[in-house]
Structure 1
Amino acid sequence: MTAVASTPAAVGGEAAPNDGLEAPPRRWPHVLGVGAIVSLYTALYSTYLLILHTTLQDGLADVGEYDQAISGYAHFMGPHSPFVGLHGAGDAGKLQLADHFTPLLALMSPFYWIHDGPETMLIETAVLTALPIIPLWLFVRRAVRNSGRFGSLAANLSAYLVVIGYGVTWPLQMALWFEFHEVFLELPILMWMIERAQAGRLRQAALISLLLLGVKDDMGFVVAIFGLYLATKDATVRDWARWLPRALRRPRLVLDTVRRRDRAWFLALVPVGLGMVWLVAQVLLPAAGGSPNRDFTYTEFGPTQSAAMHAMLADPGNTFATLFNSHYKTQTLEMLLWPVLGLCLLSPLSLMAAPLLMERFLSVNQLYWVMPYHYNAFLVPIIFCAGVDGALRLSRWLTSARLSARVARHGQPFRSALMTAFAMYVAIYAWSTFDRYPMHHMTQASFWDVSNPSVVAAKQAASKIPDNAYVASATQVGPQLLSRDKVVMWGPPGDRNYPAPPWVLADVKRTSYPFKDVAAQQAEVQRLESTGYRVVFQSDGWLVLHDAALG
């Protein structure tokens, strides 16, 4: 694979140097090389996810919600999800769009025509996680490539090293451990739009960025900042310093500047992105049956959205301090910087991460602050591309004549060497820390043990549930039933206000979310028996209860 040939712009808006010394790049070796890496990581992710599923290490949240929604799209019935909500036993379920606005899930539905079940979604997750390797490879290669054979070699080597490190970076591992979330749709879109912007194909980048609006409720913030980035991409700090005094003397210059090079279209992404955030929260989520306050978790600042926003703006010092008022927040920030040695902070691309971090760290929900789960994976394309951009900017500064005339005379080889060293760091850091994060369990024999008595008993219990039944299931075994039954989460009375199911698959030996402990689960089983449910199967703590009066 090669860079686009037509006037590619390197990071920072400068044209990639080419004095005619570099031979035309050969495509096929890199097509095969990058293709092999993508295939290997896809196989690794698929194996990891399918073993999690087979050994009951996944759960109904969020596998149940998204599998049911994709299956609904595949059957042309809409993204109905009984897991999200159910009004009656015969109801198709609440729209998944009431929970998160993710219409792009429909793109995953055709593969459900081959197999309608969570296994299909998990394989698609693996593919979506590996696909960003292609644009990331192009991004790194284009950023590093210089004139001469050594520069080309450094560019290819750096590109391979960075994507190898990307494949096992810790935010991806944490997201895969969570099995599925809309973040996996965001990864290839965000990586491609950043790569297209670097290639000088700004219109393509702008159009691709609009796909983010169908991924998640808050992606409009990223689209808005990306629009500003595209509009100002070719301007340096020195350009701004020269332009501002002129604009103050001649206000019409502002309009002329906006009109130049499609800047007006790129700036239009700002109101489009921000407007979409408001539209989703205030109109589309409520229209699907959700709440406009679905994502409001800022009660530390005020009881309502308007009150919280007013408090944040009225006291910016307190707002800023809140971003760092927990060691969980600072730990997460620190760990986000380590994969690229913190060099992402030298790139304007890193500004796209700001709204995603702010909305998490200003929240009172501590789950948003920590390293586990999928939330940090949204930042991976930004961190890696900004890290490469920042490393390139630093290498240019270190080899500039202003710093050292002697080094500047050999600037290109020095820059190539520095970028190669950075790429080696990215790969070494990712793989040297591999054993700290969930996927290292694949190196342990217990991870692959499908003969565990608990797993065997759970699958025996699941086999007792008839097809096309309405069942409330303990979260660990629930995904085993998704392809053939209407499944909701088994929980305490009133937890999700599901109608009473005729079948219940319970667990009284291991804690099952959303119960607090095993004692609460045992108490719920006793309550069910007192209301007419009968135990029809019991093994290793797994129980199947049936109420014939309900169906």
Structure 2
Amino acid sequence: MATIATAVDGYDAEQGSAPIGVPAQSRHRRRPVRRSTLPYLLLGLLFLAGYAVLTVSRYRQEASLPPGTALIMQEIHGYASLSAPDFSVHGVPVNALGLHFSPVLALLVPLYWVFPNALTLLLVQDLLFAGSVTIVAATAGRLWGGHGRTQARGRALCLGAAYGLSWGLQNAVGTDLRLTCFAVPLVALSLRNVLLERWQRAGLWALPLVFVQEDLALTVALIGVVVVLRRRWAAGAVLIGFGVAALLITVDWVIPHFSAGGSYTYWSQLPGGYLDLLSPLKLLHHLADVGGGTKLATLGYLLAVTGFLALRSPLALVAVPTLAWRFLATDPAYWGTAGHYSAVLMPVLFLALVDAVHRCEEYGRVGWLRRYATQSAVPVVTAVALTLCVSLHLPVTDLFKPATYRAAAHQAAAAPLPSALPSAPPLPNAGLPVSPRSPAPR
């Protein structure tokens, strides 16, 4: 958490140009006010404690590790042993780089050498999620700080709490270790620096996303698009070019090189394969298939957590790649609100909300929208987050149940060596997973 506090500390505001469509007289914007990050750090620590309690409780109540965590443990063990990041599926070794390009897991090797068990890695996941709470709240406090410090800080803390309670983040907390935990703070830090007009830092935080998972290269490219919309042509062009190049290299060369089938398996998720990407009409047809309303419901929940105000900010464009591949996939498991798939969208949408409120304060000319953004948006977002916690039975409600703090009769198998980890069921398609319900570690 100290690293997060350092990352969000200090800012010398640049004199930037107004967003597209803003009158010339509004180009000299109020500089973000320097604030102490201590309240936001404490908020992050509070959520870290809550996430950790939930993780430890679920870990103790599980009879065995979930397949995804078991496979990631084996992958990390491969890096720790200075060998290929293989995992075993009923005794058949599968190179993890042949499924997803995720060398970021090598960062956990030093910790694995000291504490070779799943619970330690799950707590690191909680730390990264809680760190993003500090980042989002501190960014809101910095941009909203011109109308009274106490009021701005209170609004920012409420927004940070709503973010920490958001359904997308909570569904990723638990006994399953996911690569999403690395992407969430990286996206938050990159977009924070975009809002603060620190273009070099925004790019440096965005670039590592390509080492988390191959599809996040498109997220890097869209961050570049947002930077271009801010009239920073060179920085935006670099991010767009880097993201597109990274995607092509990983899915056309790196992953097929390590894959048993010699190809990128997840092309099979598109109804017509990767050729459908070349046909705009087919893409629109697949996206128009609402899947019995599941896709529309997911969109509704995503926008509801920001009071529908995130659409006012160009930052919302960064959510498009993740939503596109999910809604284009043939497997309905990607379409809904369950699982960890929406976690990386939470910092995008909430920072888009921060930007939208700031824009309405500074440049808003529509009376009712300005009043809603400045007076009602944060209370509405906080109320929605609390309501969804109860209505969707999100994990945070378990903190109020006595069973959460009661030791279970059995504990999860957390052996330090992959040989003691549970064996995963067979994978379809020559040993390669084709859906999130198969035991792929993502």
CA distance in 2, matches of 1:348, 1:222: 14
Q: Report the equivalent of 2:3.
A: none
Instruction: Determine the structure 1 residue equivalent to 2:143.
Output: 143
State the secondary structure of the residue aligned to 2:421.
Answer: strand
Match of 2:11 in 1: 4
User: 1:440-519 to 2 correspondence within 5 Å?
Assistant: 440-452=397-409, 455=410, 479-483=413-417, 485-489=419-423, 491=425
1:77, distance to aligned residue in structure 2 (A): 3.0
Do 2:35 and 2:141's aligned partners in 1 also have CA atoms closer than 8 Å? Answer: no
Q: What CA deviation, in whole Å up to 9, does each residue of 1:381-431 have, x standing for no partner? A: 111011222233344565x3xx56xx9xxx9xx87x953532233233222
> Retained in 2: the 8 A contact 1:157–1:420?
no
Partner of 1:244: none
- Equivalent residues in 2 for 1:192-271, closer than 5 Å: 192-234=189-231, 263-271=233-241
Q: 1:451 to 1:228 in 2, by over 3 A?
A: closer
2:180 pairs with 1:183: yes
Instruction: Please say if 1:79 is aligned against 2:80.
Output: no
Indicate whether 1:273 and 2:243 are aligned: yes
CA contact (8 A) 1:58 1:178 kept: no
Match of 2:277 among 309, 312, 317: 309
RMSD over equivalenced CA pairs, Å: 3.2
Q: With CA pairs under 8 Å and 6+ residues apart, which has the higher RCO, 1 or 2?
A: 2
Aligned counterparts of 1:131 and 1:495: Cα–Cα separation in 2 = 38
Counterpart in the other structure of 1:129: 129
Structure 2: distance between partners of 1:185 and 1:10: 32
Give the paired residue count. Answer: 419
8 Å CA contact 2:136–2:351 kept in 1: the answer is yes
The aligned runs of 1:16-95 (5 Å cut-off) are 16-17=29-30, 25=34, 27=36, 30-31=37-38, 33-56=39-62, 59-83=65-89, 86-87=91-92, 93-95=93-95
Give the Cα separation in 2 of the matches to 1:106 and 1:317.
Answer: 38
* Higher Rg of the two aligned structures: 1
Distance 2:186 2:67 in 1: 24
Give the superposition deviation at 1:185: 0.3
SS, match of residue 171 in structure 2: helix
For residues 119 and 11 of structure 1, do their structure 2 counterparts lie closer, same or farther at Cα, with a shift above 3 Å needed? farther
**TM-score, scaled to structure 1:** 0.69
Q: Which of 154, 158, 164 does residue 155 from structure 2 map onto?
A: 158
Q: Aligned residues: percent identity?
A: 21
Q: Tell me if 1:423 matches 2:378.
A: yes
CA distance in 2, matches of 1:299, 1:121: 33
Q: Does 1:342 align with 2:313?
A: no
Say if 2:396 is the partner of 1:439.
yes
Residue 289 (structure 1) aligned to one of 245, 259, 264: 259
Match of 1:520 in 2: none
Structure 1 CA distance for aligned equivalents of residues 189 and 88 of structure 2 = 34
CA distance in 1 between partners of 2:234 and 2:152 (Å): 34
Q: Secondary structure at the match of 1:134?
A: helix
Residue 514 of structure 1: CA displacement?
A: 7.5
User: Which amino acid is the alignment partner of residue 367 of structure 1?
Assistant: A
Unaligned runs of 5+ in 1: 88-92, 235-260, 460-476, 499-512, 516-551
Distance 1:368 1:337 in 2: 18
In structure 2, stretches of 5+ residues that fail to align are 1-7, 21-26
Task: Give the whole-Å Cα distance in 2 for the aligned partners of 1:438 and 1:125.
Answer: 15
In the alignment, residue 7 of structure 1 is paired with which amino acid? Answer: E
CA distance in 2, matches of 1:7, 1:115: 44
Q: Which amino acid aligns with 2:265?
A: R
The alignment status of 1:318 with 2:318, answered yes or no, reads: no
How high is the TM-score relative to the length of structure 2? 0.84
In the other structure, the counterpart of 2:23 is none
Counterpart code for 1:305? Y
Structure 2 CA distance for partners of 1:337 and 1:120, relative to 1, 3 Å: same
1:444-481, Cα deviation, whole Å (9 max, x unpaired):
233444344xx3xxx6xxxxxxxxxxxxxxxxx5x434
Amino acid at match of 2:285: N
What is the one-letter code of the residue matched to 2:277?
A: M
CA-CA distance at 1:86 after TM superposition = 4.3
